[in-house]
């Protein structure tokens, strides 16, 4: 290839926003080959003391990626020039930051200045899903960390109170389709949610008609009017700590905890209904799609090459 042709190709790539810096599962093969085992060692230990850890960190990863891409911005605390995303409504119930710090410390002790906090979130999510009985996948790596947070853009994160149209739109705005929406919602097959995020469905005079009547009564007992809004309830009442496809059979039985869960199955004419049925009928289909959707979500606008930095402390810019 002539130097002139190479220059032309580079210019075209830059014009179209194409980068030669791509994420790869082997990104740290020479610089930190044991990174996955280091992360696994920390989260395996932490998960023994917190059965909810997998749900916590995959939620953190999801909330990170939906704000300007998977760049670790959710981990930044308030500082000069930093208005933390953690203090905004979608993130005030996000937990697990201490474990991320522990992982970062362990990684820095072996590979200082090499592995990003954004990649730590992606790796920890996959490992914890696998530990809970879910699928495994090759996590693309090579993200760098942002030097800013974007509190205003936390409105991009789907809330439990969205309409079906808004929920779909928030995913499509990130180039995630209906299969991604249903598959990633399937992460609610483990973990907990606070009463305040679904109590509006339990109204005495006008309860959500898509709620199974028996399940409605169970939830009313768990979350009585005037009760503790922060009380935790299983997102999957059947196998609350296992990563499986029971979330989808729950939806078929009108036993989705959040309105945004149940609407995937109960919205008449929605293309998500057939996807829910497919995943309910085949755990393998769900696992395959979930892995693909996690990789797709993890590829949202990563910082690569010379963009961003490798934070020494996930909570602060260098």
Q: What is the pLDDT of residues 75-111, one digit of tens each?
A: 999 999 999 999 999 999 999 999 999 999 999 999 9
Residue 126, annotated ligand binder?
no
Positions annotated as catalytic residues are 63
pLDDT of residue 22: 86
Residue 188, annotated ligand binder?
yes
Question: Domains of the chain by range and CATH?
Answer: 22-157 (1.10.520.10), 164-297 (1.10.420.10)
Residue 69, annotated ligand binder?
yes
Across the range 36-48, mean pLDDT stands at 98
Strands 232-234 and 192-194, sheet pairing = antiparallel
Across the range 51-57, mean pLDDT stands at 98
Q: What is the pLDDT of residues 249-285, one digit of tens each?
A: 999 999 999 999 999 999 999 999 999 999 999 999 9
> How far out from the chain centre does Cα 132 lie?
16
Place of tokens 């995913």: 171
Q: What is the pLDDT of residues 61-80, one digit of tens each?
A: 999 999 999 999 999 999 99
Across the range 38-66, mean pLDDT stands at 98
Res. 5: pLDDT tops 80: no
Residue 236, annotated ligand binder?
yes
Whole-number mean pLDDT of the chain? 94
């Amino acid at each position: 290839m002539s130097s002139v042709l190479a220059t032309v190709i580079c210019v075209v790539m830059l014009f179209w926003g194409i980068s030669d810096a791509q994420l790869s599962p082997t990104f740290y093969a020479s610089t930190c080959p044991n990174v996955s085992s280091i992360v696994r060692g920390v989260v395996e230990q932490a998960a023994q003391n917190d059965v909810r850890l997998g749900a916590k960190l995959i939620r953190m990863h999801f909330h990170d990626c939906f704000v300007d891409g998977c760049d670790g911005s959710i981990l930044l605390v308030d500082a000069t020039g930093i208005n933390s995303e953690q203090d905004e409504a979608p993130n005030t119930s996000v937990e697990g930051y201490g474990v991320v710090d522990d992982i970062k410390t362990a990684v820095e002790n072996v590979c200082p200045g090499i592995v990003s906090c954004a990649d730590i979130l992606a790796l920890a999510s996959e490992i914890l899903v696998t530990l809970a009985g879910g699928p495994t996948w090759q996590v693309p790596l090579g993200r760098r960390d942002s030097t800013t947070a974007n509190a205003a853009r936390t409105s991009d994160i789907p809330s439990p109170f969205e309409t079906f149209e808004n929920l779909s739109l928030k995913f499509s705005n990130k180039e995630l389709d209906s299969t991604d929406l249903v598959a990633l919602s399937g992460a609610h097959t483990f973990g907990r949610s606070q009463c305040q995020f679904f109590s509006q469905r339990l109204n005495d005079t006008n309860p959500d008609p898509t709620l199974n009547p028996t399940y409605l009564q169970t939830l009313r007992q768990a979350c009585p009017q005037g009760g503790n809004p922060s009380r935790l309830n299983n997102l999957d009442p059947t196998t609350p700590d296992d990563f499986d496809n029971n979330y989808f059979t729950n939806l078929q039985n009108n036993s989705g905890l959040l309105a945004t869960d149940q609407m995937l199955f109960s919205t008449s004419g929605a293309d998500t209904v057939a996807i829910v049925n497919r995943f309910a009928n085949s755990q393998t289909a769900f696992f395959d799609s979930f892995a693909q959707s996690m990789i797709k979500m993890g590829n949202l606008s990563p910082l690569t090459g010379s963009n961003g930095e490798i934070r020494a402390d996930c909570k602060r810019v260098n």
